[in-house]
Amino acid sequence: MVPEARYTVPADEQLDAAYARALADGARPDVLERMKGGVTAVVGILKGSMPGPTVAFRFDMDAVPVQETDDPKHLPNMNNFRSHYPGVMHSCAHDAHTAIGLTLASKMADRNFAGVLKLIFQPAEEGVGGGARSIAEKGLVDDVSMIYCCHLTAGVEPGIIVGNMNYLATTKMEAVFHGKAAHAAGSPEKGRNALLGAASALLNIHAIPPYSKNETRVNVGILQGGTASNVVPDKARMVIETRAVTTKVNEELVERVKAIVKGSAEMHQLGHEIKIIGSAGSIIGDEKAVEIAFDAAKSLGYHTYIKEYDAPGSEDASFLIQRVQECGGKGTYLAVGSRIPNPHHSANFDIDEVALPRLTDLLWQVAMKILG
Amino acid sequence: MVPEARYTVPADEQLDAAYARALADGARPDVLERMKGGVTAVVGILKGSMPGPTVAFRFDMDAVPVQETDDPKHLPNMNNFRSHYPGVMHSCAHDAHTAIGLTLASKMADRNFAGVLKLIFQPAEEGVGGGARSIAEKGLVDDVSMIYCCHLTAGVEPGIIVGNMNYLATTKMEAVFHGKAAHAAGSPEKGRNALLGAASALLNIHAIPPYSKNETRVNVGILQGGTASNVVPDKARMVIETRAVTTKVNEELVERVKAIVKGSAEMHQLGHEIKIIGSAGSIIGDEKAVEIAFDAAKSLGYHTYIKEYDAPGSEDASFLIQRVQECGGKGTYLAVGSRIPNPHHSANFDIDEVALPRLTDLLWQVAMKILG
Amino acid sequence: MVPEARYTVPADEQLDAAYARALADGARPDVLERMKGGVTAVVGILKGSMPGPTVAFRFDMDAVPVQETDDPKHLPNMNNFRSHYPGVMHSCAHDAHTAIGLTLASKMADRNFAGVLKLIFQPAEEGVGGGARSIAEKGLVDDVSMIYCCHLTAGVEPGIIVGNMNYLATTKMEAVFHGKAAHAAGSPEKGRNALLGAASALLNIHAIPPYSKNETRVNVGILQGGTASNVVPDKARMVIETRAVTTKVNEELVERVKAIVKGSAEMHQLGHEIKIIGSAGSIIGDEKAVEIAFDAAKSLGYHTYIKEYDAPGSEDASFLIQRVQECGGKGTYLAVGSRIPNPHHSANFDIDEVALPRLTDLLWQVAMKILG
Amino acid sequence: MVPEARYTVPADEQLDAAYARALADGARPDVLERMKGGVTAVVGILKGSMPGPTVAFRFDMDAVPVQETDDPKHLPNMNNFRSHYPGVMHSCAHDAHTAIGLTLASKMADRNFAGVLKLIFQPAEEGVGGGARSIAEKGLVDDVSMIYCCHLTAGVEPGIIVGNMNYLATTKMEAVFHGKAAHAAGSPEKGRNALLGAASALLNIHAIPPYSKNETRVNVGILQGGTASNVVPDKARMVIETRAVTTKVNEELVERVKAIVKGSAEMHQLGHEIKIIGSAGSIIGDEKAVEIAFDAAKSLGYHTYIKEYDAPGSEDASFLIQRVQECGGKGTYLAVGSRIPNPHHSANFDIDEVALPRLTDLLWQVAMKILG
């Protein structure tokens, strides 16, 4: 990983606590040592017995800050494998993805194939925090001929496969306005009101026009400022996101947001900073990649094949797929059903476990179609 | 006290903890029992041996949430009487006022005077939280002929007395906007954005015009809303204050603020609440009351007599003085110097202790001029 | 026509002047008399010699307020048939539509067909001002089995036909804020500032969120208010439009706009009015109607058949087509090419005249396919 | 006059028309020739027979754009001296000031005094358009020892004299925002919306905080922008004014306004211009100047002497008085009553003519007290 390419890294104390916890849970100290500072990506490279192309699969591993349900009917509670840790839960199937990746590795361990298999275990997908970006920038997928980034999807039949999720390109930003406090009654003219700047920015960011022929979105999700009723607010902080069908239009939105934040600050003689805290590009899957996956799915009893789906969210797999494409390879995102209809990121999220061997087999067949 | 007339009462846990602390510090359980629920005002009534008018003095007792300095040169540190409790400090001289009140009581204990002395020990003056209001509404000053509410003033010579502080009438409000969360990319149209309402309210509250022939102020001191970059904010909270030279104009400002909050909420189909969390009226002292105090001051060596001072702040003594005036009595605010120039509410605030006997003597002479 | 169903009617003086001009240009006084007050729609009904279904064609007739070019290469200048009147021009082909309608009438005059032909000559299509609405509300198309509303399209080959223009539903509104003037320095508090309300409304209207799965648009196209630098503005006027793929979502946008205007007015204790000055629904053409038209087009050498086109504009033909559909009939919009690439509403707009007999023949064939 | 120091000069056609009208009305062509281009100030210098100080009086001469009333009871109608020209009227007594100046000149024509008398006839006082500024910058009052700028005041007894009008310093500005038009439905993203910038500026200008210990005012009196409901507005124009007790604070307000306009424009990538179209400083009259005038008034039967009056308006006499003071002289503004209570700038404004000889005599006595 390129550490600088990560957008958001936990505070040192948090990293240290996680490190200690992993050690206490029995992790190998020599391996842990190499992951210090949150550099936790793992790329497994399996060279086949014959020369051939390189195939990569991406498995994201990170959890989400959700407290797992106490509901006794929740399978992880019945079978006693719920999260040990309070406020942290695998509520988006990334543990399943990791298990699939490891099983796939053992299935391919005989190396009886022509080419190279790369299994990418990625941290920090949630919040598009830079996990994929820091792997891509390291050059780890530059030699890849074909990459697949997969996701289990709750509430969808295991027999359904979606070949190309048109995720939106997105950027998350944090803007801070710096003003000057003053007594609001005694000398209001000496203050520089950070909340006047922030409120103007908020209204105007939401007033950025929609783009024709391109779904676009902006949102100021958080605004916080001021300290007391009788003090001119000297600081305000906003969290903003933009999204668009294409990376290029998303970048235009980011420029517009920056201009609005800057102009709003200057209106009231405020200082300001704007920092990118997450991003993902759009994903345009290659037809060839989808075709291979659908062929593989056919022999496994998948019954529904959706070529394109307009996903309203974002995924930083974009960094890996785009890098492969820039280097001459191909790739696509793949989503497959895992049935249980509790929403992703909810406290009672779960997958139907039948999806585990199914997706493992699918990826194995995909790999063998290319490397076999 | 009329408990409902208090604007802001600490949470039950806080009250319970303070109760337990007082008990542990040796407070009499039977007295404490009567103060349960934060009803901590004390009014001492001393009847003279002869009939006559009723004179009242107000002493506020509450501390401020400030961590007292560790500076070894700070007198309370040198003489070991700094605050025992972290994050709470007598940083506005209210402990001195209380001491003066108690000393005055002992000086008058012989009851060799004609009339009645009322010593009012008031909680919750800070933040104009309703301490004085809840005492006034109880009717405790309805029979008072003359009331004085006093304050020691840092950085001013002990020889200076100010006869009438033209405090501004003020109202503090908390407004909450209730919207509806929605995924900001997936279905923004299903959301009702509380921050759009709050930001519009903020700008428009600050755009309330100034009043001719009347110093007016508005301030939105705090704005907080939203939860995450990709969620349409469903809640926002603002803390607002208004001030004006007269109570009437302040009430007009409050009406304007309410109309703006309501209109802003309706613009975006938001629910809203607006709650008054503090208030004080303007104070117009009676000339006769000032005259008596100045006469008393003369014999004590005060050298500077300021009849009127435009104070940019507010004081809920207004509730007591105004109630007395409505019932046919007279009164005024009085400020006297206490020299040490560290600002009120700062971590190293202190008074020159010479001010203690001086102000006690002044009040004693004032009382005797009326009751003697 | 139902006169009340028109959104915008010219002022009496303008109507009188147009009336006088028509008289001077040789219009029949008895016909003119029946059009007084701008009631200028004409519906021709041709009954065939045999009973059968009713087919209707809509031809719009109105001009646009554009000054026709002086360019000597502009065909109407070369052949001396440019607009006689300054500032008024047939810059959107409605004169061609009218000519086609009249020619079609003469072609069908032998009445050798089974059923009824209705030729609707419509005013006030531009600005979706209510021309079609006032005809539909009169019930004039309630008995129609099949309706076609056609338009020549500049810059597109005469051999191209578009079967269904997905026009956006739209509403145009005028909002007026009524405040109270006051001297901005002498007594600003006595004013009620209409521009504060209007500016807040403007920002918040533009901040209405986009709708998922539905192209939406809002625009405040005009804002005017205030009289002098030293007067609190007592009046402001805004012109607003909304658009959406469906009529239902457009109506939701209108409700949001109304809530914002009302809330903004109430914020500053302003009166307000909001008036609809134009509207059109979305148009969803019937497949059967498109099919008949495409069949007819084939025999005339049209070479390109586009079933659906997402038009970013709006058309009040929606009122006629929707009324027919509500009464059990079918219909569609049809656009056909007329080649010359100067944009509609430009000073040098023109059509290739070959389009005139082509579209006439097309409509004739369509009519005969149904009535023949 | 320094022509460049004028803020607002009528358009050439207007100047030419006024020139022609003056010629037709019998003005001397050689004098008119020297006033071409609106350079219409006249300064008369009368040297006394003995040396001595220089005394100046300012008389403003300009009319206001008001249509004089037709009311037969209006004295100018009864005596047939109402304004000959439609839409222009002497509705602020400047014709009276001019008459007084000329009469004073004739009274002093014997030159039997010690020193110099300067009679300044000033154009463009209304709207603080730069008349006084262009005279001051020419250096015409640099040698003046004592200057008086006078005004008759409607609705006030002729026996009342006000010695010092505390006019507010003021600046009038015109701001223009330049955006880019685009079809609001077809390609909103290509537009740059001038009205979004202007509306943000308007709200934020009104949100500039009041100044402690200094009456301040801001007002956006006019906002106009946009062309049609379906076009992204490409231009918006605002007229803004600021006022403050002191020239320095007024200049701070102007800087704040400029920052807000600039920031608002940059938010939406708009161009902008901001132009000063009028200004006046504050006026601080000298006590000595007031004293002399009051002494003179006493002998003429004035009965009320007001030393200071907080006038909520502004006057560009400030440029003349301040220039004299900077050069070591003294001066003051003087207002005297003229009784008839119709407001200044109204269609039925008038003065009681008894005020004419009274004010003439007053100024003569003032002059003689200094020069006699």
- To the nearest 10 degrees (0 to 180), the angle between helices D194-206 and C194-206 is 130
Q: Mean pLDDT over residues A264-270, rounded?
A: 98
Please tell me the distance from the alpha carbon of residue D138 to that of residue D129, in angstroms, as a whole number.
16
Strand-pair partners of D114: D50
Chain A CB contacts of B223 below 8 Å:
195, 198-199, 223-226, 233, 236
- Best residue of C166, C205, C211, C212 to probe chain A, by most A CBs closer than 10 Å: C212
Are D313 and C186 in contact by the 8 Å Cβ rule? The answer is yes
Identify the closest residue of chain B to D200 by CA–CA distance: B203
Give the residue from A280, A265, A107 showing the smallest Cα distance to A200: A265
Cβ distance of B219 and A168 shorter than 8 Å: no
Which chains does A contact via 3+ CB–CB distances below 8 A? B, C, D
First to last CA, chain B: 30
Cβ distance of D216 and B210 shorter than 8 Å: yes
Query: Model confidence over A130-181: pLDDT tens digits?
Result: 999 999 999 999 999 999 999 999 888 888 999 888 899 999 999 999 999 9
Question: What pLDDT was estimated at residue C341?
Answer: 87
Please tell me the distance from the alpha carbon of residue D217 to that of residue C185, in angstroms, as a whole number.
6
Identify the closest residue of chain B to A226 by CA–CA distance: B222
3-state secondary structure chain D: CCHHHCCCCCCHHHHHHHHHHHHHCCCCHHHHHHCCCCCCCEEEEEECCEEEEEEEEEEECCCECCCCCCCCCCHHHHCCCCCCCCCCECCCCHHHHHHHHHHHHHHCCCCCCEEEEEEEEECCCHHHCCHHHHHHHCCCCCCCCEEEEEEEECCCCCCEEECCECCCEEEEEEEEEECECCECCCCHHHCECHHHHHHHHHHHHHCCCCECCECEEEEEEEEEEECCCCECCCEEEEEEEEEECCHHHHHHHHHHHHHHHHHHHHHCCCEEEEEEEEEECCCCCCHHHHHHHHHHHHCCCCCEEECCECCCCCCCHHHHHHHHHHCCCEEEEEEEECCCCCCCCCCCCCCCCCHHHHHHHHHHHHHHHHHC
DSSP per-residue string spanning B165-183: B-PPEEEEEEEEEE-B--B
Q: SS3 of B59, please?
A: strand
Task: Assess A217–D contact: CB distance below 8 Å, yes or no.
Answer: no
- D84, pLDDT greater than 90: no
How far CA C70 is from CA of A158, C82, C343, C346, C347, in Å, comes to 69, 9, 17, 13, 9
Give the residue from B183, B179, B164, B158 showing the smallest Cα distance to B353: B158
- Closest CB to A200: pick one of D204, D252, D269: D204
Neighbours of A178 (CB within 10 A): 15
Cβ distance of B210 and D206 shorter than 8 Å: no
Cβ distance of B230 and A241 shorter than 8 Å: yes
- Closest CB to A266: pick one of D187, D196, D266: D266
In angstroms, what separates the C-alpha of D262 from chain A's closest C-alpha?
Answer: 7
Question: What pLDDT was estimated at residue C158?
Answer: 86
Neighbours of C30 (CB within 10 A): 7
Q: Where are the alpha helices (DSSP H) in B153-286?
A: 194-206, 247-267
Instruction: Please name the residues in contact with B258: beta carbons below 8 A apart, sequence gap of 6 or more.
Output: B274
Instruction: Please name the residues in contact with B209: beta carbons below 8 A apart, sequence gap of 6 or more.
Output: C188, C189, C191, C193, C232, D206
Are C238 and C175 in contact by the 8 Å Cβ rule? The answer is yes
Q: What six digits make up the tokens of C68? A: 């026709």
> Which residue type is seen at A252?
E
Query: Model confidence over D169-191: pLDDT tens digits?
Result: 999 999 999 999 999 998 999 99
For β-strands A114-122 and A50-60, DSSP reports them as parallel
Residue C47: enclosing H or E segment and its boundaries? strand C42-47
Please tell me the distance from the alpha carbon of residue A307 to that of residue A165, in angstroms, as a whole number.
8
Which of the four pLDDT bands, split at 50, 70 and 90, describes residue D198?
very high
**Please, which residues 270-309 of chain C have a Cβ atom closer than 8 Å to chain D?**
278
Please tell me the distance from the alpha carbon of residue C20 to that of residue D154, in angstroms, as a whole number.
52
Q: Left if phi > 0, otherwise alpha if psi is -120 to 50, otherwise beta: which for B150?
A: beta
Which of the four pLDDT bands, split at 50, 70 and 90, describes residue A309?
confident
In angstroms, what separates the C-alpha of B330 from chain A's closest C-alpha?
Answer: 28
Neighbours of B94 (CB within 10 A): 22
- A247, pLDDT greater than 90: yes
The pTM assigned to this predicted structure is: 0.90
Question: What pLDDT was estimated at residue B301?
Answer: 87
Q: What six digits make up the tokens of C285? A: 């053409």
Bigger pLDDT: D125 or D311? D125
> Among B283-292, B311-320, D232-241, D305-314, which stretch is predicted with the lowest mean pLDDT?
D305-314
Are B277 and B172 in contact by the 8 Å Cβ rule? The answer is yes
Are A338 and A21 in contact by the 8 Å Cβ rule? The answer is no
Query: Cα-flanking dihedrals φ and ψ of residue B260, to 5°?
Result: -70, -45
Q: SS3 of C11, please?
A: coil
Q: SS3 of B326, please?
A: helix
Are A236 and A177 in contact by the 8 Å Cβ rule? The answer is yes
Cβ distance of D224 and C228 shorter than 8 Å: no
* Helices and strands (H and E) in chain B: how many: 10, 11
Q: Left if phi > 0, otherwise alpha if psi is -120 to 50, otherwise beta: which for B244?
A: beta
Please tell me the distance from the alpha carbon of residue B35 to that of residue D363, in angstroms, as a whole number.
75
- Best residue of A183, A189, A192, A254 to probe chain D, by most D CBs closer than 10 Å: A189
Are A296 and A163 in contact by the 8 Å Cβ rule? The answer is no
- B166, pLDDT greater than 90: no
Q: Return the percentage of chain B with pLDDT > 70, whole number.
A: 100
pLDDT, averaged across chain C: 94
- Closest CB to C266: pick one of B188, B232, B262: B262
- Closest CB to C203: pick one of D199, D241, D313: D199
Chain D CB contacts of B216 below 8 Å:
210
- Chain-centroid distance of CA C28 in Å reads 27
Are D277 and D130 in contact by the 8 Å Cβ rule? The answer is no
Neighbours of D269 (CB within 10 A): 16
In angstroms, what separates the C-alpha of D211 from chain C's closest C-alpha?
Answer: 14
Are B120 and B135 in contact by the 8 Å Cβ rule? The answer is yes
In angstroms, what separates the C-alpha of C206 from chain A's closest C-alpha?
Answer: 5
In angstroms, what separates the C-alpha of C310 from chain A's closest C-alpha?
Answer: 10
Please tell me the distance from the alpha carbon of residue B322 to that of residue B332, in angstroms, as a whole number.
10
Cβ distance of D207 and B206 shorter than 8 Å: yes
Question: What pLDDT was estimated at residue A310?
Answer: 83
Are B201 and B261 in contact by the 8 Å Cβ rule? The answer is yes
Residue B70: enclosing H or E segment and its boundaries? none
- Best residue of B166, B200, B205, B206 to probe chain D, by most D CBs closer than 10 Å: B206
Task: Assess B181–A contact: CB distance below 8 Å, yes or no.
Answer: no
Q: What six digits make up the tokens of B187? A: 């279905």
For β-strands A304-306 and A160-162, DSSP reports them as parallel
- Closest CB to D188: pick one of A196, A210, A262: A210
Low-confidence ranges of chain C (pLDDT < 70): none
Please tell me the distance from the alpha carbon of residue D1 to that of residue D137, in angstroms, as a whole number.
7
Query: Model confidence over C159-193: pLDDT tens digits?
Result: 899 988 889 999 999 999 999 999 999 899 999 99
Query: Model confidence over B99-127: pLDDT tens digits?
Result: 999 999 999 999 999 999 999 999 999 88
Q: Mean pLDDT over residues D305-332, rounded?
A: 93
Question: What pLDDT was estimated at residue C81?
Answer: 93
pLDDT, averaged across chain B: 94
Identify the closest residue of chain C to B205 by CA–CA distance: C267
Residue with tokens 């958001």: A8
Q: Per-residue b/e over C265-303, b at no fewer than 16 CB within 10 Å?
A: bbbbbbebebeebbbbbbbbbbeebbebbbebbeebebe
Strand-pair partners of B49: none
Residue with tokens 């933040």: B127
Q: SS3 of A150, please?
A: strand
In angstroms, what separates the C-alpha of D90 from chain B's closest C-alpha?
Answer: 29
**Please, which residues 219-238 of chain B have a Cβ atom closer than 8 Å to chain C?**
232
Q: Where are the beta strands (DSSP E) in chain A?
A: 42-47, 50-60, 114-122, 146-153, 160-162, 169-178, 216-225, 235-244, 271-280, 304-306, 330-337
Task: Assess B75–A contact: CB distance below 8 Å, yes or no.
Answer: no
Question: What pLDDT was estimated at residue B192?
Answer: 97
pLDDT, averaged across chain D: 94
Q: Return the percentage of chain A with pLDDT > 70, whole number.
A: 100
Helix, strand, coil content of chain B in percent (nearest 5): 35, 25, 40
Q: What is the DSSP letter of A168?
A: P
Query: Model confidence over B299-325: pLDDT tens digits?
Result: 898 999 999 888 878 999 999 999 999
Task: Assess D199–C contact: CB distance below 8 Å, yes or no.
Answer: yes
Q: What is the DSSP letter of B80?
A: T
Task: Assess B365–A contact: CB distance below 8 Å, yes or no.
Answer: no
Q: Return the percentage of chain D with pLDDT > 70, whole number.
A: 100
